[in-house]
Structure 1
Amino acid sequence: MSLPHAILTALLEKPSSGLELTRRFDRSIGYFWSATHQQIYRELGRLEEAGLIRALPGDGPVRGQRKAYEVLPAGSEELARWVGGSQDPKAIRDPLLLRVRAAAVVGTGGLLAELRRHLELHRRQLALYEAIEERDFPPGRDSDEDRLRRLVLHGGIGLETFWLRWLEEALEEVGGMADRPDAGPDPAGGAGAS
């Protein structure tokens, strides 16, 4: 149940309208927690109904006017409770890993191109994260808030670095195999962990 907490975090950083939140998700939080604008607007309604946020007072209802929201004390308390809580890691669900596993039984046709494509995508993402770090965290910027934000960014950098290493290994392994479209499972069970 992390989307409401992502929204509370963003609103505590800066009161915003739904549209502004969507844009901010695209530029920051969305790198590690994505949400569509429909999901954000729906969650804003739920948070307001639960008494965790409120629409900022305006000059009155005007058609097309954006409602800006701020977090109420109950919302801050909920976010603090959630930060201090416990949650198990999520299992990896990655289609590329499943494709590699499937190649063990149906052959590797087309897999090399997809591995190369993913390698390029992860290179670009790593370059983006490194550019964000250089832009947003210059030397000497070390408040507690900045250190925690940088820590999240370093998590993204670490994940991209992992994917680059794994994809290079996968390209080497798959590239050294003859494509066997009729490949079947190894009778000795060598297709990997079940």
Structure 2
Amino acid sequence: MSLPHAILTALLEKPSSGLELTRRFDKSIGYFWSATHQQIYRELGRLEEAGLIRALPGQVPVRGRRKEYEVLPEGSAELARWVAGSQDPKPIRDPLLLRVRAAGVVGAQGLAGELRRHLELHRGQLAMYEAIEAKDFPPGRDSEEDRLRRLVLHGGIGLETFWLRWLEEALDEVPEVLEVPAAPERGPAAGVPE
């Protein structure tokens, strides 16, 4: 599982509290590895228990004050080990692709509307990624860290571009099926005398 490695990465970039990590996940890491507030806090506890992170020294958690975490050398070594390792690609499990396949069996009624909705969602996501690139990666930002972060962002841009092309192709192929109201039932089951 990669959530612990995502958290180690975020903490090496900047020591943070669980709440700060959640906010950072919502704004950056969460675009490619999402996690809930509860998952992040649960994983922080596991990482601390494993000796990979610790609360910043001198930080005694009191009501209203957040405990901030930093990565220990063992945590940096674990993250470096994970980065250097290998992992096969995950199989795709996308409900929209399954819906299109199922439409081939039961018909495409309502599918075009869902495809158009996804098209708009992916357009919005692509616009957001492009805005992030324009804001966070102006010409001249060329450190190794910046290049690698930009590379991840370009992966997201490429995926959104793929989805836009695929959804436009799908909309060309899927017939527009109008919603037809069901005919009222007849006979004894509907309370109509025979």
Task: Calculate the TM-score normalised by the size of structure 2.
Answer: 0.89
Change (3 A) 1:17 1:82: same
* The structure with more radius of gyration: 2
Cα drift, residue 125 of structure 1: 0.3
Q: Percent identity?
A: 86
In 2, the alpha carbon distance for the partners of 1:61 and 1:133 equals: 37
> For 2:102, what is the secondary structure of its paired residue?
helix
What corresponds to 2:98 in structure 1?
Answer: 98
In 1, the alpha carbon distance for the partners of 2:97 and 2:139 equals: 38
In 1, the alpha carbon distance for the partners of 2:60 and 2:170 equals: 59
1:68-79 equivalence runs, <5 A: 68-79=68-79
Cα drift, residue 58 of structure 1: 3.0
1:154 corresponds to 2:154:
yes
| Pairwise CA RMSD | 1.4
Change (3 A) 1:59 1:8: closer
Cα pair 2:6 2:29 within 8 Å, conserved: yes
Q: Partner letter of residue 51 of structure 1? A: G
What corresponds to 1:110 in structure 2?
Answer: 110
Count of paired positions: 179
User: Which is bigger in relative contact order (C-alpha 8 A, separation at least 6)?
Assistant: 1
Instruction: Give structure 1 stretches of 5+ with no counterpart.
Output: 182-194
Cα drift, residue 63 of structure 1: 1.7
Change (3 A) 1:18 1:154: same
Instruction: Give structure 2 stretches of 5+ with no counterpart.
Output: 181-194
Cα drift, residue 61 of structure 1: 3.8
What corresponds to 2:21 in structure 1?
Answer: 21
1:128 corresponds to 2:135:
no
> For 1:96, what is the secondary structure of its paired residue?
helix
Cα drift, residue 62 of structure 1: 1.5
In 2, the alpha carbon distance for the partners of 1:68 and 1:61 equals: 9
In 1, the alpha carbon distance for the partners of 2:106 and 2:38 equals: 39
Q: Partner letter of residue 107 of structure 1? A: G
What corresponds to 1:188 in structure 2?
Answer: none
Cα drift, residue 178 of structure 1: 6.3
Cα drift, residue 12 of structure 1: 0.1
